[in-house]
Amino acid sequence: MAAPMRQLGQTSFQKKIPSKLQIPGTKPSLYNNQLLISTGIPSLDNVIGGGLAVGTVLLIEEDVFGGYGRLMLKYFCAEAVMTGQALFLSSLDNKPSQILNELPAPILDDPGPDSEQLVTGATERMKIAWRYQHLPQFQSSPMGTKFGHYYDLTKSMELGVISSINTFLVGQSELTETDSSEHPMNPYYLQLLKRIQEKIDSDGFGTAVQQKKRNILRIAIHSLGSPMWGENGGLNQIGSYDPSLPRFLLALRVLMRSAFAVCVITMPTHLFCDKGFVVRVERLCDTVVHLESFAGSEKEKNILYKEYHGLFNIHQLPSLNSLTCHMPDTLDLAFKLRRKKFTIEKLHLPPELSETASRPQEDPLSNLKFPPQTGSCGTSLGVKNKLDF
């Protein structure tokens, strides 16, 4: 079974990962044997089924001001630095080098559990179950490199550390060459595709290429589809349908499928007036998450959300090489930003403990709109009784 699959060598969706193929910063999925990498946010990895499968595209639909989307992209890039993977970073809204300089610094002062465990394990002789003693120690991270790191947002990563990995920045100047004026596609998207293709080919990230030491290419595209890219929400100058962005995403999916690469795109989908176009864009990506920040909205003051900074919705999860996708408990989550940590959590509603309707966020409003009616059956002296109706 494995032989014909390897012969094809076309896709990174190999069912069985050859045991010798150990790539730093990856782990096999518990569900479907896909090779996974971390998004850089461990709580996000958990929610989407362990991590991002190699060969897929993650779309982050940005919040209105784009700040949190950008932050998530930085985490993704920082994780590349920590695991020694290659990074391809593109942006037209900001300079890519600026994003690279603002990466959060890793928190490294946690006690190295690996080394400590090994030492104690070697010295302590087993008192019971001694026949398991000669078995090899269980290692939580067999790759040597930890999967998923924590970062301190107050400090930025040292430039020396960043320069240790293979980075490739694509900004305005790299995307403005126009050689194919005849092509019916947005020139920026076309150039970006070409750059990604060149990078995959030149550094041997393709699945068809035999390599002794494999590595992963992380592709981060910031604010794709913003006005800087010449995108107009799927409409061209004369107001008819412009399929450039769907075409780009389809071609990107094809490129990813045949490479050891993972792509993360942030996109300001709230700028597209046609919601149908947003749905199309989502369908052409593999994993889709949506951010909704509370900044400047009514929800900021809502007591229900006081712990959080925004809502986090999962719109789509990929089913790769299987009938099902990962099914989390809920698709509606929330995120919060602490000084050192960006976490995604289940949105907990406050428990309804008292018997009377006690929703503090609704009561003031309803009281204002409908002042206590004297005609109702009950005491109606401002104090609501259980027997009132």
270 and 226 Cβ atoms separated by less than 8 Å: no
Contact residue for other proteins among 159, 254, 357, 365 (CB under 8 A): 254
Contacts with other proteins: how many residues (CB under 8 A)? 48
User: Which residues between 96 and 115 bind other proteins (CB under 8 A)?
Assistant: none
333 and 347 Cβ atoms separated by less than 8 Å: yes
- Count of CB atoms within 10 A of residue 139's CB? 11
Cα distance from N-terminal residue to C-terminal residue, the chain: 70
- The answer to the question of residue 253 lying near other proteins (CB under 8 A) is yes
Rounded Cα–Cα distance for residues 377 and 5 (Å): 76
Contact residue for other proteins among 100, 170, 284, 289 (CB under 8 A): 284
**What 3-state DSSP class applies to 330?**
coil
Contact residue for other proteins among 139, 172, 330, 376 (CB under 8 A): 330
- The answer to the question of residue 57 lying near other proteins (CB under 8 A) is no
* Contact stretch for other proteins (CB under 8 A) within 6-14, 96-104, 108-116, 346-354: 6-14
Contact residue for other proteins among 6, 283, 301, 348 (CB under 8 A): 283
Rounded Cα–Cα distance for residues 133 and 344 (Å): 40
Contact residue for other proteins among 323, 349, 368, 383 (CB under 8 A): 323
- The answer to the question of residue 118 lying near other proteins (CB under 8 A) is no
- The answer to the question of residue 349 lying near other proteins (CB under 8 A) is no
Kindly give the pairing relationship between strand 86-91 and strand 35-37: unpaired
- The answer to the question of residue 18 lying near other proteins (CB under 8 A) is no
Contact residue for other proteins among 46, 97, 211, 275 (CB under 8 A): 275
Nearer to other proteins, 139 or 321 (CB): 321
* Contact stretch for other proteins (CB under 8 A) within 107-115, 139-147, 254-262, 293-301: 254-262
- The one-letter code for the residue type at 296 is G
Q: What DSSP state is assigned to residue 139?
A: -
Contact residue for other proteins among 17, 64, 165, 185 (CB under 8 A): 185
Q: Is 350 left (phi over 0), alpha (psi -120 to 50) or beta?
A: beta
- The answer to the question of residue 279 lying near other proteins (CB under 8 A) is yes
- The answer to the question of residue 325 lying near other proteins (CB under 8 A) is yes
- The answer to the question of residue 4 lying near other proteins (CB under 8 A) is yes
Rounded Cα–Cα distance for residues 240 and 320 (Å): 34
* Contact stretch for other proteins (CB under 8 A) within 40-48, 137-145, 221-229, 319-327: 319-327
- The answer to the question of residue 257 lying near other proteins (CB under 8 A) is yes
Residue 9 CB, nearest distance to other proteins (Å)? 10
- The answer to the question of residue 13 lying near other proteins (CB under 8 A) is yes
Residues 191-210, one symbol each (x = binds other proteins by CB under 8 A, - = not), give --xx--x-------------
Place of tokens 């008192």: 127
Supply 255's token pair.
């490129």
- The answer to the question of residue 75 lying near other proteins (CB under 8 A) is no
Rounded Cα–Cα distance for residues 377 and 228 (Å): 63
Query: With b meaning 16 or more CB within 10 Å and e meaning fewer, what string describes 271-304?
Result: bbeeeebbebbbebbbbbbbbbbbeeeeeeeeeb
Query: With b meaning 16 or more CB within 10 Å and e meaning fewer, what string describes 98-137?
Result: ebbebbbbbeeeeeeeeeeeeeeeeeeeeeeeeeeeeeee
Binding region for other proteins (CB under 8 A) = 1, 4-5, 8, 10-11, 13, 15, 180, 183-185, 190, 193-194, 197, 241, 243, 246-248, 250-255, 257-258, 275-277, 279-280, 283-284, 319-325, 327-331
